[in-house]
Amino acid sequence: MDYQNNEGHNEDLELPFFDRSTIVCATKNFAINKKIGEGGFGSVFMAWILWNEGKPLELLNECLGESCTMSEVLRCIRLSLLCMQERPKDRPSMSSIIVILGSESALPQPKQPSFFLEKDSNEGQFLTSKHC
């Protein structure tokens, strides 16, 4: 494979080659828990799933210990989910984030991310969902 370096010269680049059987073996036949990320989905999507399951405190880092209240933790989780909304107009501005962090005002419910993996409770399989 050829690529052009910063000086405009073409250089030959050797890339490793893996056949399909090697990849199937290494990923346990493309198992969801072998994907890059946390169990096949990123931490944002894990946060969304735990939020919807009513278990957002499972996101709490044990190192925080007693350094904050549960209401502060829940508020920060909700705010972080609002910051990750698909549409920019649904996200809080930086100035409103500062106000939110310094107040007790009510926050809107975050909307479902536009793309995430959800587990089918009947099948135990992960399903991809696209929401626009």
Q: What is the CATH number of the domain that holds 63?
A: 1.10.510.10
Please check whether residue 109 lies inside any domain of the structure.
yes
Please check whether residue 22 lies inside any domain of the structure.
no
d(CA 121, CA 112) in angstroms, rounded, equals 18
Count of domains forming the chain: 1
Q: What is the pLDDT of residues 32-46, one digit of tens each?
A: 766 655 444 566 677
Task: Record the tokens describing residue 118, joined without a space.
Answer: 């959800």
Average pLDDT in the chain: 74
Supply the pTM of this predicted model.
0.56
Find the mean pLDDT for residues 63-80: 84
**Residue 57 or 44, more confident:** 57
Please check whether residue 10 lies inside any domain of the structure.
no
d(CA 83, CA 94) in angstroms, rounded, equals 10
Residues pairing with 10 in the sheet:
4
